[in-house]
Chain A
Amino acid sequence: MLPRSPDRREALTLLGLGGAGLATGAAAQQVDLGFAGGTRQLSGDWPQKGSMIVLRERAPLLETPLSAMDGQVFTPNDRFFVRWHYQDIPTAVDPATFRLRVGGAVRRPVALSLADVHKLPRVEIAAVNQCSGNSRALFSPRVPGAQWGDGAIGNALWSGVRLRDVLDLAGVAPGAANVRVSGLDRPPPGAPWFAKSLSVDHARDGEVMIALAMNGAPLPMLNGYPIRLIVPGWYSTYWVKALDRIEVLTGEYDNYWMTKAYKIPATPDAGVQPGAKDFPTVPINRMTPRAFFTSVDRATKVVANDPFYVRGLAMGGASAVARVDLSMDAGRSWHAARLAPDQGKYGFRLWEATIGGLPRGGYRLWARCTNADGQTQSMDAIWNPGGYMRSQIASVAVTAA
């Protein structure tokens, strides 16, 4: 992790934050997520978790305050966001009896113990895990669903084994098309299992992996202990937690969670006119670039005519962060922020800048990420009925006084 910059204290003073919005204490602190109805309590009541924003108690939806990610590329495990669909989630796991079953269109179905999984070659990757609906509450017009602010996101160093190597233990049979993955959570009676699928080629690309550890420690139970799928560059709906079943399919997977939920408009930016219905859709897939402010609130005060320091995190989505640029004139001109060392193309990259003293007055500061494929964020917000893939350029209001 990145040590705190020596400028941190000074920067905080300059910004007049004074600790406000830094969610480190116990419960009963409030955060403002920046939308109507978005004032939320922080809670320290969740097992293996520090202070989190509770969106829903059952099944748990816990959001990370952006300030908890400030100044570090890797999000601490105890602050990593939590997102389950169904209330019947694993709360006790014995790793000695846990089995990962691989079946379906394979030569030899297997039930692997964790010790078997551990014997495979180890791989490690930094990758951002972001909920498809991250920032949904900022959609306008608003849409139903989990009302996330910007904190359904985190980056970790995942270590484990390749999904390909696990599949090869069973031997993918000819004619295999898709790989279905599911975990220990269970649906209410009659409801569809939470399961997702990836194409066989994607599943065997050598990047998709099964994490045995997260930032060098076992996964918190609420983040998928003992093992979860990691699909670098893709939204977390595919990152199945407490993964215990892999089924190789010869056809498409027609489950609700693939064909009805998590569908985005088949438009280049996943946006449609507000209220639009009956447009072609595709399953959500690759993430897009985003930059976030972590050191300042969305409305921040600085001392007039004094330079101030600002920093945040950026992700490139399906390719590396190439640059982060800042603007104070609504995007007419852009100035490169400094980037901290690259820790892997799918991970967060820390950006920072010192802004020259501002005369008294009100300003807005924008931060835009561009990835290595040249894909960049837009000033315009998209809209879709699921509230997916928001990636509009983030901005903060700055008052110099």
Chain B
Amino acid sequence: MRALIVASAALLTACSAEPGATPTKVEGALQPVSITLPAETAALPATPAGELVTQRCTACHSADMIARQPPLTAEKWQATVTKMREAYHAPITPADEPAIVAALVTLQGAPPPR
């Protein structure tokens, strides 16, 4: 611990804050704004599992939401798929779920997208 010397040098004086700094007035300055979002690049592998999940699971969010999840058990994927259906009204039926869950588990083993 002897190594941790907190020096007395007045380094902080170099960091003079701006208390009471008044921001630029933006009154009346709000202009019509429009933005263009970049083209989507996230994609799942062109395998049967990737295609099934792309088809059933990318209507509301890009594929990276799925591809970037940590490794999850089939049970956890099942819970996620059920949540998509119940909470967000994903257009799938309980009967569709086993195949989707199996595809998600398969994809996890596959190399990440991009």
A13 in the interface, Cβ–Cβ < 8 Å? Answer: no
Complex contact A87–B60 (CB within 8 A):
yes
Partner of A142, one of B38, B40, B70: B70
Complex contact B1–A332 (CB within 8 A):
yes
Q: Known contacts A45-B38, A47-B37: does B64 contact A57 (CB below 8 Å)?
A: yes
Q: List B contacts of A45 (CB < 8 A).
A: 38
Question: At the interface with chain B, which of A15-23, A208-216, A278-286?
Answer: A208-216
Q: List A contacts of B32 (CB < 8 A).
A: 92-96
Complex contact A55–B64 (CB within 8 A):
yes
Q: Known contacts A47-B37, A338-B6: does B62 contact A57 (CB below 8 Å)?
A: yes
Which residue of chain A has its CB nearest to the CB of B24? Answer: A216
B46 in the interface, Cβ–Cβ < 8 Å? Answer: no
User: What's the least CB distance linking B110 to chain A, in Å?
Assistant: 13
Complex contact A57–B38 (CB within 8 A):
yes
B95 in the interface, Cβ–Cβ < 8 Å? Answer: no
Q: List A contacts of B61 (CB < 8 A).
A: 56, 58-59, 87
Partner of B28, one of A1, A118, A225: A118
Complex contact A191–B33 (CB within 8 A):
no
Complex contact B15–A217 (CB within 8 A):
no
Which residue of chain A has its CB nearest to the CB of B30? Answer: A95
Complex contact B6–A353 (CB within 8 A):
yes
A333 in the interface, Cβ–Cβ < 8 Å? Answer: yes
Complex contact A5–B26 (CB within 8 A):
no
Q: How many residues of B contact A (CB 8 A)?
A: 52
User: What's the least CB distance linking B37 to chain A, in Å?
Assistant: 7
> For B11, B31, B33, which residue has the most chain A Cβ atoms within 10 angstroms?
B33
Contact with B along A45-83 (1 / 0, CB 8 A): 111100000111111100000000001010000000000
Complex contact B33–A354 (CB within 8 A):
no
A37 in the interface, Cβ–Cβ < 8 Å? Answer: yes
Complex contact B64–A92 (CB within 8 A):
no
User: What's the least CB distance linking B69 to chain A, in Å?
Assistant: 5
A3 in the interface, Cβ–Cβ < 8 Å? Answer: yes
Q: How many residues of A contact B (CB 8 A)?
A: 87
Q: List B contacts of A57 (CB < 8 A).
A: 38, 40-42, 62, 64
User: What's the least CB distance linking A250 to chain B, in Å?
Assistant: 26
Complex contact B70–A93 (CB within 8 A):
no
User: What's the least CB distance linking B8 to chain A, in Å?
Assistant: 9
Complex contact A55–B68 (CB within 8 A):
yes
Complex contact B3–A309 (CB within 8 A):
no
Complex contact A2–B30 (CB within 8 A):
no
Q: List B contacts of A143 (CB < 8 A).
A: 70
Complex contact B23–A86 (CB within 8 A):
no
Which residue of chain A has its CB nearest to the CB of B9? Answer: A354
Complex contact B12–A352 (CB within 8 A):
yes
A329 in the interface, Cβ–Cβ < 8 Å? Answer: yes
Which residue of chain B has its CB nearest to the CB of A157? Answer: B23
Q: List A contacts of B9 (CB < 8 A).
A: 354
Contact with A along B86-101 (1 / 0, CB 8 A): 0111000000000000
Q: Known contacts A218-B29, A309-B11, A341-B17: does B4 contact A356 (CB below 8 Å)?
A: yes
Partner of B112, one of A37, A54, A92: A37
A230 in the interface, Cβ–Cβ < 8 Å? Answer: no
Other CB < 8 Å A-B pairs besides A37-B70, A225-B33, A327-B1, 16 of them? Answer: A36-B70, A45-B38, A46-B38, A56-B65, A91-B36, A92-B33, A93-B33, A191-B87, A191-B89, A212-B26, A216-B26, A326-B6, A333-B1, A335-B6, A340-B17, A355-B4
The 6 closest A-B pairs by CB, nearest first: A216-B23, A190-B89, A142-B70, A356-B5, A92-B34, A47-B35
Residues of A within 8 A of B (CB): 1-3, 5-7, 36-37, 43, 45-48, 54-60, 71, 73, 86-87, 91-96, 114-115, 118, 124, 137, 142-144, 146-147, 157, 159, 187-192, 212-213, 215-218, 221-222, 225-226, 256, 260-261, 307, 309, 326-329, 332-333, 335-341, 343, 350, 352-359, 363
Instruction: List 8 contacting pairs A-B, 8 Å CB cutoff, sorted by A.
Output: A3-B15, A37-B70, A45-B38, A188-B60, A261-B87, A327-B1, A340-B17, A355-B3
